[in-house]
Amino acid sequence: MNPMMLMMLGVFMPIPLALAFLLPLYVSIFCAVLAIYTEQTDTLMDAFTNVIYIANVYEYAVHYWLKNLATVNHFTYSAPLILLPMVGLLLAILSCYKLSKLSGRYFRGLS
């Protein structure tokens, strides 16, 4: 690979790769919070851009789930709490892999 292209790859690719990894994770955690707290949808939709607030709400939901594991409904509480972030993680890994392969092919083709 051309050294100039390698430098461009190193300068321009970290931001799209970080977005490709973090955005599906955040959206899946936000969807899990929305699925669990359906009665507070308006408040949560207003706080979509407040990442720390959504992370704290998700953390509280996990702590509540761990303390009350025998009494929570597994379809409306446990499934969204675990499955949606796992799907988001899978999508994040897949999108990062695809983006890195695509950028590698693109930059190899330019040299």
What is the residue range of 94's domain? 3-110
Q: Nearest 5°: phi and psi at 49? A: -85, -10
pTM of the model: 0.84
Nearest to 21 by CA among 101, 83, 99: 99
The Cα–Cα gap between 90 and 111 comes to: 32
pLDDT value at 3 more than 80? no
| Number of compact structural domains in the chain | 1
Give residue-wise pLDDT tens across range 15-73.
999 999 999 999 999 999 999 998 888 888 999 999 999 999 999 999 999 999 989 88
Nearest to 58 by CA among 78, 39, 83, 32: 32
At 79, list the tokens.
Answer: 């499934």
The Cα–Cα gap between 110 and 108 comes to: 5
